[in-house]
Amino acid sequence: MTTPDEQPHERPATGERPGSYGEIAPGVPRYGQYAPEGWVPPSSVNNGQDDAGTSSGLPPVSAYPGFKGGPVPSAPGTHFAAPKLVVIACRFIKTAGALQALSGLLLLMVVFFPAVRATMVDALKTALPSDPAYDSLLADPAMISSLLAFSAVLSLAGAASYFWLASKIRKGAGWARTTALVLACISLLALIQPNVFTIIQVGLGVVAMVILYRSPSKEYFAKKVPGGGPHGY
């Protein structure tokens, strides 16, 4: 019963209890209810690739670079830090270049110091087989000085090329890596008459090439930037 000042309470709608939630949408279970077996949402998203970004105003996923494994182009002027192994390989190449420069300086000492040149000539006479051609060559000081000077200049030029190639390799120049590989293969011929300097120098070059043609070095050289050219530092 109610008094005249009180409003009668409304009865809940048929099938609803006080405190329950109404129907969200036709065919959608109420909050707290289990969906019946075999129930399928009224609207389903096929996959994230069809309308990815449409609800937020962004372009679809397929519009982004690198989608589905495609290459990701780099912006112009992009530079990458060289991997640690590439830096180590460049140091090996520079060390081999330093040994090459040392051999060139030793040859210059032989040219400009007669006493050292005489000692070297005596050593060559002992090492070389007895032959009139060798004897006539070693007996000509001018010819020996010319050959030594040419060898010294060639050795110093080779040392400079080591350092130059190492700097280009560190910046990611693929042609420099290929050139260094060719030179490393040619340097193996020096092992026909090996000495300590030759073995160390050739060994450093071979180890550097192995490093540069393995991961992560090969991925570093595979990077592309618009316009080409070096992309590392």
Q: Which of 117, 108, 106, 107 is nearest to 141 (CA)?
A: 117
Residue 78 within a domain: no
In a domain, 62, yes or no: no
| Cβ proximity of 226 and 73 under 8 Å | yes
Amino acid letter for position 128: L
35-45 pLDDT tens trace: 666 666 655 54
- Spacing of C-alpha 71 from chain mean position: 16
Residue 29 lies in a domain: no
Distance CA 205, CA 183 (A): 9
Question: Residue 38, class by beta-carbon neighbours within 10 Å (0-12 exposed, 13-18 middle, 19+ buried)?
Answer: exposed
**Cβ density class 136-172: b for 16+ within 10 Å, e for less:** eebeeeeebeeebeebbeebbebbeebbebbebbbbb
Angstrom distance (rounded) from CA 180 to CA 86: 13
pLDDT in tens, 100-141: 999 999 888 888 887 777 787 777 767 676 767 666 777 777
C-alpha pair distances (Å), 153 with each of 43, 93, 150, 158, 182:
80, 19, 5, 9, 21
Q: Is residue 196 part of a domain?
A: yes
| pLDDT tens over the chain, length 233 residues | 555 555 555 555 555 555 555 555 665 666 666 666 666 665 554 544 444 444 455 555 555 554 455 445 555 555 668 899 999 999 999 999 999 999 999 888 888 887 777 787 777 767 676 767 666 777 777 777 888 889 899 999 999 999 999 999 998 889 999 999 999 999 999 888 888 889 999 999 999 999 999 999 988 888 766 555 555 55
Asked whether residue 27 is domain-assigned, the answer is no
Domain with 140 in it: 90-222
pLDDT value at residue 68: 52
Residue 177 lies in a domain: yes
What dihedral do alpha carbons 30, 32, 35, 36 form, nearest 10°?
-90
Cα–Cα nearest to 176, from 229, 125, 127: 229
pLDDT at 142: 78
Res 49: pLDDT? 47
SS3 state at 80: strand
In a domain, 185, yes or no: yes
Cis peptide bond upstream of 216, omega within 30: yes
Number of domains in the chain: 1
Query: Which pLDDT belongs to residue 179?
Result: 95
Q: What pLDDT, on a 0 to 100 scale, did the predictor assign at position 48?
A: 46
pTM here is 0.59
Asked whether residue 41 is assigned to any structural domain, the reply reads no
